[in-house]
């Protein structure tokens, strides 16, 4: 598929480590303290929000503040299970609610 960028394992490991460091920062703590899931817009307890990469690491996404958002477990699982197109469909469905 054209959408896939071949990212090497080393870069992914590096970005995962960066994401772990980001999670400890005040910037992230403030974000999850608000409790808002970036995708569905529902409110959750901070412990129920996970750090999600808008552009997944395996597709070349980086652990930058702009690419890291809080996501509830439901959205996170869905994103993992769906193809990029199906995921876009899901987001559109949420917007129309």
Binding site for Zn ion (CB under 5 A): 37, 39-40, 72, 75
Specify the residue, 57 or 72, whose C-beta has the smaller distance to Zn ion. Answer: 72
Q: How far apart are CA 48 and CA 45, in angstroms?
A: 5
Q: Three-state SS for 53?
A: strand
| Minimal distance, residue 72 CB to Zn ion, in Å | 3
Closer residue to Zn ion, CB minimum distance, 48 or 84: 48
Which residue lies nearer to Zn ion by CB, 40 or 58?
A: 40
In sign, the C-alpha dihedral spanning 46, 93, 79, 26 is: negative
| Shortest Å, Cβ 80 to Zn ion | 13
Closest distance of CB 2 from Zn ion, Å? 28
Q: How far apart are CA 41 and CA 82, in angstroms?
A: 19
Least distance from Zn ion to the Cβ atom of residue 25, Å: 22
Query: Could you tell me where the beta strands, DSSP code E, fall in the chain?
Result: 49-53, 68-72
CB nearer to Zn ion: pick between 49 and 57: 49
Q: In DSSP terms, which residues pair with 11 in a beta bridge?
A: none
């Amino acid at each position: 598929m054209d959408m896939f960028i071949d990212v090497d394992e080393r870069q992914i490991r590096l970005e995962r480590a960066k994401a772990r460091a980001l999670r400890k920062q005040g910037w992230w703590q403030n974000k999850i303290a608000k409790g808002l899931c970036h995708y569905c817009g529902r409110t959750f307890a901070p412990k129920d929000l996970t750090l999600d990469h808008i552009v997944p690491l395996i597709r070349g996404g980086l652990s930058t503040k702009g690419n890291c958002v809080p996501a509830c477990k439901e959205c996170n699982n869905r994103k993992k299970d769906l193809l990029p197109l199906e995921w876009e469909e899901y987001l559109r469905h949420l917007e129309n609610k």
